[in-house]
A and B are shown apart, each in its own frame.
Chain A
């Protein structure tokens, strides 16, 4: 069973979100990277871009699959993990740590509470992830 840290929130599309003061850090889950296999490419927005909850903000690719990335919350991108451009494999190696993707300054209210808890997300992946 893939690792699902307790202190994070999740989307149904397998992104995680972590509250850091007034910012939210975003990445994909261990389960997601396992399903994809070796990540070969990550396409992320630029700093300053706006993202919208439940809308795509980028893509992550393995050799034979492409997966859209969905924003857990709406807001402005304030940091992007530039290292993934050169070393996409970090997403596989450390999805919750060095493999983070964005830091967002949230603009919406109430979106945070609609995200899945660790327990809800575990149930989702236990059913096959859909």
Chain B
């Protein structure tokens, strides 16, 4: 039975209740009206709720129960790498010597934090086969922006004014969006029906106006790009830089490295591969790695090591600048560092091995009942198409909703755009075989229901706190904040 709770915090408010505890002023003058000119002061206290501490705890506890999370549900959301987020990482990140350090503390008083950053950057560089890594980008999309801006600065430094960046039609939306913000014209290149790069078409498109080619490896169909080395060589021959979207790094740890494949830049999503929690949509961290020729353009400051001393180096005249006010999402860096130290090189390799095994196992178990986008073996995720079910009137969305009723979060749907009715399934290495089996059983059950009892799919979900929501109403009559009735 779904929880029928339907309150917002504002609706619990009772004038006079307090949830906080602050000391009385211990200084002689505490009246802001005497300390500050009236024109700066708020006339009325802000209309925030008045609730007790326990009201707060119960309300948000109940809200949390309206969510599926990795801790409670299998969450096969493709491209997002919804793996287990180790509890130890949380303990470590909460040590006062990490969580309560001010970003502008004197460098001499923050040597542990700087050392951690320096070592993590080095580890990521080793994992990706890159020469230098900046930890500053706040998420993958910001890593992309940083990477493309570095490519731009590099071309400019050589007196080249290239204007276009090539992005496959299978790319994640952030790729073209970041590229556009970096000032480039985005040229979409059509993939082959199997999702691979059309190398001949690419060769024809590469010219002296192309600054970069940006691709995801493994690609967004979960497949390794077999001609990748040829592709990066082809690009370099035309003076084109190659960017790897590293969102799918979980597939290749210790197996192959972007740098060795010929990539000039790649970003990491620490909230995917390196277990920092997704938090309902962030924060993440999107470090970006580069080859030596791009190193002068890294965002400032760079963490340096001189003897046993760590410092922030600001004197980098060719830097692209800054992406966020401080040094990066340090809290996430602590978690990723803890994870890498927990796993070690062999552990990371077995992460990818098992992620690949799990994805192939699912693909095999479902290949009779759903169309596979591309025949396997796949890497860490597999893409199915519900086109067969669509002919019976059951869409990828319908299947996603039915899965919620059967106790699973849904795969990514309608991504990549080049697969009709796409269902992108990424089990990750942290899931056990019995979970994968239960999920596959549910998927097969839905395939049967599509043939015999589609109504139960179209009605779904019925076990969640709300049933299907009216998206059209939400967009036509935007209601983006709570207002007091009457």
Q: Which residue of A lies closest to B474 (CB)?
A: A63
When chains A and B are docked, how far (Å) is the Cα of A89 from the Cα of B473? 10
Instruction: Give residues of chain B (444-486) contacting chain A, Cβ–Cβ below 8 Å.
Output: 471-472, 474-476
Q: Which residue of B lies closest to A63 (CB)?
A: B471
Interface string of A54-74 (1 = CB under 8 A from B): 000000011110000000000
Instruction: Give residues of chain A (30-74) contacting chain B, Cβ–Cβ below 8 Å.
Output: 38, 40-41, 61-64
Q: Which residues of A contact B471 (CB under 8 A)?
A: 63-64
CB of A106 closer than 8 Å to a CB of B: no
Size category of the binding interface on chain A? under 10
Count residues of B near A (Cβ-Cβ below 8 Å).
6
Q: Which residues of B contact A62 (CB under 8 A)?
A: 472
Q: Which of B414, B474, B476 contacts A88 (CB 8 A)?
A: B476
A interface: dominant SS: loop
Q: Which residue of A lies closest to B472 (CB)?
A: A38
Interface string of A75-109 (1 = CB under 8 A from B): 00000000000001100000000000000000000
Q: Which residues of A contact B475 (CB under 8 A)?
A: 40-41, 61, 63
Q: Which residues of A contact B476 (CB under 8 A)?
A: 38, 40-41, 88-89
Q: Which residues of B contact A63 (CB under 8 A)?
A: 471-472, 474-475
Question: In the complex, how many angstroms separate the beta carbon of B420 from the nearest chain A beta carbon?
Answer: 13
Q: Which residue of B lies closest to A37 (CB)?
A: B472
When chains A and B are docked, how far (Å) is the Cα of A19 from the Cα of B363? 56
Question: In the complex, how many angstroms separate the beta carbon of B480 from the nearest chain A beta carbon?
Answer: 14
User: Which of A40, A41, A62, A88 lies at the interface centre, i.e. has the most chain B CB atoms within 10 A of its CB?
Assistant: A40
When chains A and B are docked, how far (Å) is the Cα of A41 from the Cα of B472? 10
When chains A and B are docked, how far (Å) is the Cα of A40 from the Cα of B476? 5
Question: In the complex, how many angstroms separate the beta carbon of B387 from the nearest chain A beta carbon?
Answer: 15
When chains A and B are docked, how far (Å) is the Cα of A63 from the Cα of B472? 6
Instruction: Give residues of chain B (290-325) contacting chain A, Cβ–Cβ below 8 Å.
Output: none
Q: Which residues of A contact B414 (CB under 8 A)?
A: 64
Q: Which residues of A contact B472 (CB under 8 A)?
A: 38, 40, 62-63
Q: Which residues of B contact A89 (CB under 8 A)?
A: 476
When chains A and B are docked, how far (Å) is the Cα of A38 from the Cα of B472? 7
Question: In the complex, how many angstroms separate the beta carbon of B213 from the nearest chain A beta carbon?
Answer: 26
Q: Which residue of A lies closest to B475 (CB)?
A: A40
When chains A and B are docked, how far (Å) is the Cα of A41 from the Cα of B476? 7
Question: In the complex, how many angstroms separate the beta carbon of B287 from the nearest chain A beta carbon?
Answer: 32
Interface residues of chain B, those whose CB is within 8 Å of chain A, are: 414, 471-472, 474-476
12 contacts between A and B (CB under 8 A): A40-B472, A40-B476, A41-B475, A41-B476, A61-B475, A63-B471, A63-B472, A63-B474, A63-B475, A64-B414, A88-B476, A89-B476
